[in-house]
Amino acid sequence: MLTGKNLVAGEWRNGDGTFTAVDAASGDALGPDFAEATKQDVADACAAAAEAQKVFGALPLAERAKFLRLAADKIDALGDDLTRRAMAESGLPEARLTGERGRTVGQLRLFAEEVEDGGWQDLRIDHADPSRTPPKPDLRMRKIPVGPVAVFGASNFPLAFSVAGGDTASAFAAGCCVVVKGHPAHPGTSELVAGAIAEAVSECGLPAGTFSVLSGTDYALGEALVSDPRIAAVGFTGSRAGGLALMKRAAEREVPIPVYAEMSSINPVVLMPGKLEQSAEELASAYVGSLSLGAGQFCTNPGILLTVESEATSRFLVAVKDALGAVPAQTMLTSGISDAYRSGIETLGGLSGAELVGVGEEGSSACGRAHVYTATGSDFLADPAFEQEIFGPSSIVVRCKDLREVAQVLDELEGQLTTTLHMIEADYDDAAKLLPILEQRAGRIIANAWPTGVDVTHAMVHGGPFPATSDGRSTSVGTLAIGRFLRPVSYQDLPSVLLPQRLRDDARPKLSRINGEWRALSDT
C-alpha cells in the first residue's frame, strides 16, 4: 500500500503540496497523491544523516555487509508489486524490470562481499626508522567514508540507478549515509524501495538517519540537498544540463563538494572494413537491436556508428533500413522525454548533410519511433551539432572516406562511456592504431559486442571523460564505484591502542602494503 509520503530518517511525512505519478503509456494519473518534499525535510534528513554517520561510518565491516544483504532481501520480498508499479510508471516491459530488480539486489549483495573483503580500504603501513636522518615516522593509512551522500535517482532505471541503485549501494558500502532525491517519474517505485531499506535500517538497529528518500518536482529540492553543508558528495545520472547545474551548485558552496554525474554519451561504434565486408547484414540487425533496446533510453545507446565508404557499407545501410522497418514504437519514460526525443530527431534531420536511412513503426505520442540517419565524415566534422546526444532510439551512421578520417572523427568527439570495435583478425593492425584514441575518449573499450548492457563486476568501468561523466577517474557501476565516497587518512606515530584495529601490528588484513611491498595474508 502506497502512502505518497516521503521518508525522513525513519518518519513518513506529508510535504507542502502534492504531485501526481503518471502511467507512462496512457498518460493517466496513478494514485496516490505524492507529497512534495520541503526544504525543512531536506534539512532534517541531512541533519539526521550527519548524526547517523557517526554510527554507520564506524560500523564493523561484517555488520555493514549484513545491512546491505538485508536491504537486498527486503527489496526481493517486494516481488511483483514492485515490478508492476515500476512498469506502470516507466512504461518499461516486465522482463526488463524483472532483470533490473535482479541487478539491483545483485549489486547490493556484491557490495556486501566487497565490504567484507576490505581491500578497498587500501591499508598501507610504513614502519618508523629512527636511525634515518631525519628520523622516519611510523605512518599507517586507510580509507574512510567521506560522509553523507546525496543520490539523484535516474528516470531510465527506476530500480538499478534509483533509490537503491548503484550510487546508493556504493555509498552504503563505503560507510556513507544516504539521502536520495527520488525521480518524480516513478515516485511509487521509490516509496516501495524506500520502505524496504527503512525496514533493513531498523532491523539492523541502525540510526534512522542512515537513509532518507525525498521526492518532488521542483529543482529547488535537489539544489537544497546539494547545498546542505552536511552533504559530502553527490551521485547523479541524468541530463547534461541537470548534471552541470548540480556541479555548479556544489562548486559554489562555502565548502565545495564533488559531484559524480553521469550525463551524456553517444558511444561510438566502429565497423572495421574486414568485419563489415564479411558480416554487413548481421551487423545491421544487431545494431538496430542495440539502438532500439528499451526505446533507446540508455546512456550506452550506440548513437554514432563509423564506417569506411564501400560497397559493404551500402549493403549495411540497406539492411539497417530493412531491420528498422520491423522495430515497433515503444513507450518512452515520460512525455518530457518523448517530446525531447522528437525535437532531437527533427534537429538532426535538418543538419546539412544528414540523410534519413530508415525509420521504425509509428506509434502514439507517448512512443519513440526508431530513426537512423547517415552523413559523410566531412559533413559530420563540419558541424558539432551532429554530436549532440539524442536520448531515444536513434543513431547516425558516419561514412568516412578512409580509416584516417575515422580516426579524425573519433579524435574530435567528446568524452564517452564506451567505444566499440567490430573487427576480424585482418583488421587488428588498423584497430591497434585506433586504440590509443579510444582509450583517451572512453571508460570502456568493447570488441565485437554492443555497448548496451553493463555487467556489475570488479573490473567494470561505467565512466569516462567529460561529458560522459563529471569525473573520468571514477565509475558508477561495479565495485570500483566505492572509491568515489572514500578519502584517505594517514595516522602518524599513533600508539597502537589508538589505531584503527586493521592497522595494528597484530591485525591480519587480507592484503596490505607494508614498507612499499604488497603483503597477502599468507606472507604475514
Ligand X SMILES: O=C(O)CCC(=O)C(=O)O
Binding site for ligand X (CB under 6 A): 154, 156-157, 161, 237, 262, 298-300, 452-454
Looking at the DSSP assignment, which residues form a beta bridge with residue 189?
none
Determine if 183 is a binding residue for ligand NDP (CB under 6 A): yes
DSSP letter for each residue of 241-280:
HHHHHHHHHHHHSSS---EEEE------EEE-HHHHHHHH
Q: CA Rg, the chain, in Å?
A: 25
Q: Nearest distance from residue 161's CB to ligand X, in Å?
A: 6
Q: Which of 37, 146, 154, 372 binds ligand NDP (CB under 6 A)?
A: 154
Determine if 394 is a binding residue for ligand NDP (CB under 6 A): no
Q: Which of 51, 223, 405, 427 binds ligand NDP (CB under 6 A)?
A: 223
Query: Which does residue 300 touch among ligand X, ligand NDP, none (CB within 5 to 8 A, set by kind)?
Result: ligand X
Q: Nearest distance from residue 441's CB to ligand NDP, in Å?
A: 16
Q: Which of 287, 391, 450, 485 binds ligand NDP (CB under 6 A)?
A: 391
Q: Nearest distance from residue 242's CB to ligand NDP, in Å?
A: 3
Q: Nearest distance from residue 168's CB to ligand X, in Å?
A: 14
Residue corresponding to grid cell 549501494: 169
Q: Which of 121, 239, 292, 394 binds ligand NDP (CB under 6 A)?
A: 239
Pairing of strands 259-262, 178-182: unpaired
- CA 392 to chain centroid: 17
CA angle 114, 213, 52 (to 5 degrees): 60
Q: Nearest distance from residue 147's CB to ligand NDP, in Å?
A: 21
DSSP letter for each residue of 429-447:
HHHHHHHHHHHHHEEEEEE
Helix (H/G/I), strand (E/B), else coil: 486: strand
Query: Which does residue 263 touch among ligand NDP, ligand X, none (CB within 5 to 8 A, set by kind)?
Result: ligand NDP
Q: Nearest distance from residue 99's CB to ligand X, in Å?
A: 10
Q: Nearest distance from residue 382's CB to ligand NDP, in Å?
A: 24
Contact 295, 393 (CB under 8 A): yes
**Is 299 an active-site residue?**
yes
Residues near ligand NDP (CB under 6 A), total = 25
- Contact region with ligand NDP (CB under 6 A), list: 46-54, 191-199, 211-219, 280-288: 211-219
Name the residue nearer to ligand X (CB basis): 15 or 184: 184
Distance separating alpha carbons of residues 310 and 21, to the nearest angstrom = 50
Q: Nearest distance from residue 182's CB to ligand NDP, in Å?
A: 8
Out of 36, 191, 262, 277, the active site residue is: 262
Query: Which does residue 454 touch among ligand NDP, ligand X, none (CB within 5 to 8 A, set by kind)?
Result: ligand X
Distance separating alpha carbons of residues 32 and 188, to the nearest angstrom = 8
Determine if 34 is a binding residue for ligand NDP (CB under 6 A): no
Looking at the DSSP assignment, which residues form a beta bridge with residue 235?
151, 260
Name the residue nearer to ligand NDP (CB basis): 262 or 427: 262
Q: Which of 263, 403, 456, 480 binds ligand NDP (CB under 6 A)?
A: 263
Distance separating alpha carbons of residues 6 and 45, to the nearest angstrom = 10
Determine if 219 is a binding residue for ligand NDP (CB under 6 A): yes
Out of 299, 367, 400, 405, the active site residue is: 299
Q: How many CA atoms lie within 13 A of 100 on its CB side?
A: 26
**Is 262 an active-site residue?**
yes
Q: Nearest distance from residue 288's CB to ligand NDP, in Å?
A: 21
Distance separating alpha carbons of residues 195 and 309, to the nearest angstrom = 55
Query: Which does residue 183 touch among ligand X, ligand NDP, none (CB within 5 to 8 A, set by kind)?
Result: ligand NDP
Name the residue nearer to ligand NDP (CB basis): 291 or 431: 291
Three-class SS string for 179-241?
A: EEEECCCCHHHHHHHHHHHHHHHHHCCCCHHHEEEEECCCHHHHHHHHHCCCCCEEEEECCHH
Name the residue nearer to ligand X (CB basis): 4 or 153: 153
**173, burial (CB in 10 Å: exposed 0-12, middle 13-18, buried 19+):** buried
Name the residue nearer to ligand NDP (CB basis): 68 or 332: 332
Question: Which phi-psi region, left, alpha or beta, contains residue 392 (left: φ > 0; alpha: ψ -120 to 50)?
Answer: left
CB-based contacts of 349: which residues, under 8 Å, 6+ apart?
Answer: 356, 371, 373
Determine if 337 is a binding residue for ligand NDP (CB under 6 A): yes
Query: Which does residue 245 touch among ligand X, ligand NDP, none (CB within 5 to 8 A, set by kind)?
Result: ligand NDP
Question: Hey, what's the torsion of the CAs at 468, 156, 159, 15, to 10 degrees?
Answer: 110
- Contact region with ligand NDP (CB under 6 A), list: 73-81, 113-121, 180-188, 367-375: 180-188
Q: How many CB atoms lie within 10 A of CB 436?
A: 10
Contact 48, 208 (CB under 8 A): yes
Distance separating alpha carbons of residues 276 and 319, to the nearest angstrom = 12
Name the residue nearer to ligand X (CB basis): 103 or 275: 103
Residues that bind ligand NDP (CB under 6 A): 152, 154-156, 181, 183-184, 217-219, 222-223, 237-239, 242, 245-246, 262-264, 299, 337, 340, 391
The residues that are catalytic are: 262, 299
